[in-house]
Amino acid sequence: MSYHYGSSSSSSSSRSSRSSSSSRRQAATFQGNTAPAGYHYMPDGTLMSDAEHALIYGGSGTIESFNLDTTNIKASGEKREFTITGQGTFSLMVKNESGSYYNFVTHKFQANDTKLYNKNFKNTYSGNIVFPIAPTTEDIVDGAVTSGVKVVMDNNVATKMEVGDRVTGNAALNAANVTVVEINTDSNAKKFSMSEAIAIADDAVLEFTGSDQYDVFLFAELGTRHAQYNEFRFADNSIDINSSTGSNSLLLRKVIYQTLDVRLELGAVSPNSETLFVGTTVTGQVITTQIGKNTGKIPFSISVSAGGTHSFRINKTPTIDDTFAFVTRNIGSAPIDIQGEDVSSSTNFRWPIDSIDGLAAGMSPNGDNITAGTVISSYEEIITELQGTKNQKKIKKVAVKALDSLGVKPILTRNTATKALTTVQTGSVVFNKQQAAALASDAIKIRGYGPDAIRGLTGWEIEFSDIIVTLTKPTALVATTTVNSTTVDIDNGDGVMDDVSTVSSFNMNSSAVNPTVTNIGSYSGSTATLTLSAAQSLEAGETLTFDGAGRTITISGNIEIKKVGGIRSDWDGSIRFDLEKFITATNETS
């Protein structure tokens, strides 16, 4: 019984393939000389390899296209279909990062060299490649970790992990994004360092998951050539082999990366750390997904609680334009003067920066030495000629772009451990306000709002829908009975906001408008004395419910990640709602 892999819409015998080779080929002998195996003599007596002849003069076979999904493979593994179109003979080989070869019969990787060899086809040939789960190992912790990032294991760590591997094994590790940052720490062959401090029990079993790289080689065999080479390049002018098609040799190569799952954290914050938001606590949501994928719609929920004696009021329903991401960038050691700029006070508009990649005009920088109200902006100096006459006109004397690469090409780097691709484009940035000399060499955070800015800064394409903000209504008990009085003592004033909160209870007239709290007295975080807009008769122990303000809000809806980017080293992996844009916070202490 014969075995084969894949399928072809039509097949041709090796005999018909060989007979169609160029008529310029001579016999294997010339003037009594016999050509070595794999070679032949041309009519002029020169010796030529069969492969070179096929490449230069071709045969009847041409591989027109090689269709294979080269997006990143899930850490859990995937099965990918490939299709080769044209006609002729090909061989296909797949190698992983450790040098193992894919066996197209067993669908597993093995140490011995193997490939799909000398397959004849006509029109199309289809098959599958089964990519396994990402490389994973386990080892046991030798001694509890109560603080710090250093962990001692039972075995030599170099045999169990690599820098960049993700570490899991307990609830805290599984919920975080902890990686191996160093092996053989402190010259100890059994010690490694984590990317952040996590408590780990003695004898805990840790799992280390790495990334992988698969190189795919499609060979045009004797009598077959590839379609004409069509080259694509990245922004740094390096060749994008996955986007390029065809080949000017007998080999066509593709590369596929298997990357670790990435985690996106949704949260909320007061980006300017406004005083009235101090003490706010946020419980966000973590979404785990894969680089390059589309997640579909995922429900999310974010809980935000005011600190201490503070209260929240909802002003509007937020939109995607009220969400932001920020990156950390480094300012250069000295500003770049603009022609005609007044720098007498040692302040400047334009500064060098380590990367302008993803930045855009309108984004907001934050830092210890950033002037308040600063945004990224172009610079223009306009002069008016013939002012006061009918020929008056304005002329742009100086114009400087908000962001400039200064003629330097970007640098694209793929992390050898995580396989994540990052772009760094040095250049200059211009601000709408002059910045003091103290800004030199500072690390600053640059914030961008809305889907376009988030995509530029992070590489993630997101879309929100069905966003709602709900308020948890505060309740309190009446402390003392009141009779036809506007003054009410309560056991807990948390979340009540004067001139905003309305109050209702069993004994209040349901046909009348609920009274408003007009003043909160004697409140310091628990009991309070309220003044209401209308007199009430209430019993001690009666429950009051307040509306319009509270201590806790919940932001919920759906998020769809249309394209998952990586986690850049200058981004913390979070997208946040800006509370200042849709919430009013107050401090209700008297």
Give me the mean pLDDT over the 213-222 stretch: 95
Tell me if residue 437 falls in helix, strand or coil: helix
Query: Which pLDDT band holds residue 176 (cuts at 50, 70, 90)?
Result: confident
Q: Considering only 136-140, 328-332, 395-399, which range has the smallest mean pLDDT?
A: 395-399
Sign of the torsion angle spanned by Cα atoms 444, 332, 424, 177: negative
**In angstroms, rounded to a whole number, what is the distance separating the alpha carbons of residues 483 and 543?**
16
Give me the mean pLDDT over the 413-432 stretch: 89
User: 63-131+215-257 in CATH: which number?
Assistant: 2.20.130
Q: How many residues comprise the chain? A: 590
pLDDT of 532 = 95
- 81 versus 30: the higher-pLDDT residue is 81
Domain 474-549: which CATH number of 3.40.1440, 2.40.30, 1.10.3470, 3.30.1360: 2.40.30
Per residue in 450-485, pLDDT (tens digit) is: 999 999 999 999 999 999 999 999 999 999 999 999
**In angstroms, rounded to a whole number, what is the distance separating the alpha carbons of residues 12 and 419?**
41
pLDDT of 144 = 97
**In angstroms, rounded to a whole number, what is the distance separating the alpha carbons of residues 155 and 366?**
45
pLDDT of 57 = 62
Comparing CA positions, the residue from 298, 307, 245, 327 lying closest to residue 66 is 245
Residue type, 574: S
Instruction: Report the percentage of the chain scoring pLDDT > 70.
Output: 93
**In angstroms, rounded to a whole number, what is the distance separating the alpha carbons of residues 112 and 576?**
50
Strands (E), 18-177: 29-30, 33-34, 39-41, 47-49, 61-68, 78-96, 101-103, 108-110, 116-131, 136-140, 150-152, 166-168
User: So where are the chain's domains?
Assistant: 63-131+215-257, 136-209, 332-441, 474-549
> pTM score, two decimals?
0.82
Beta bridge partners of 530: 488, 520
Q: What is the DSSP letter of 71?
A: S
Angstrom distances, CA of residue 590 to CA of 232, 279, 587: 67, 18, 9
- The Cβ of residue 577 has, within 10 Å, a number of other Cβ atoms equal to 26
Tell me if residue 456 falls in helix, strand or coil: helix
- 419 versus 354: the higher-pLDDT residue is 354
pLDDT at 233 over 70: yes
Per residue in 252-274, pLDDT (tens digit) is: 999 999 988 888 999 999 999 99
- 202 versus 41: the higher-pLDDT residue is 202
Q: Considering only 5-9, 262-266, 289-293, which range has the smallest mean pLDDT?
A: 5-9
Query: Which pLDDT band holds residue 38 (cuts at 50, 70, 90)?
Result: confident
Domain 136-209: which CATH number of 2.60.40, 2.40.30, 1.20.950, 3.30.70: 2.40.30
Residue type, 470: T
pLDDT at 28 over 70: no
Query: Which pLDDT band holds residue 14 (cuts at 50, 70, 90)?
Result: very low
End-to-end Cα, the chain, rounded Å: 91
Comparing CA positions, the residue from 74, 102, 107 lying closest to residue 215 is 102
Per residue in 117-146, pLDDT (tens digit) is: 999 999 999 999 999 999 999 999 999 999
Query: Which pLDDT band holds residue 109 (cuts at 50, 70, 90)?
Result: very high
Identical fold for domains 63-131+215-257 and 136-209, yes or no, is: no
pLDDT of 69 = 96
What is the pLDDT of the chain when averaged over all its residues?
91
- The Cβ of residue 63 has, within 10 Å, a number of other Cβ atoms equal to 26
Per residue in 490-536, pLDDT (tens digit) is: 999 999 999 999 999 998 876 778 999 999 999 988 899 999 999 99
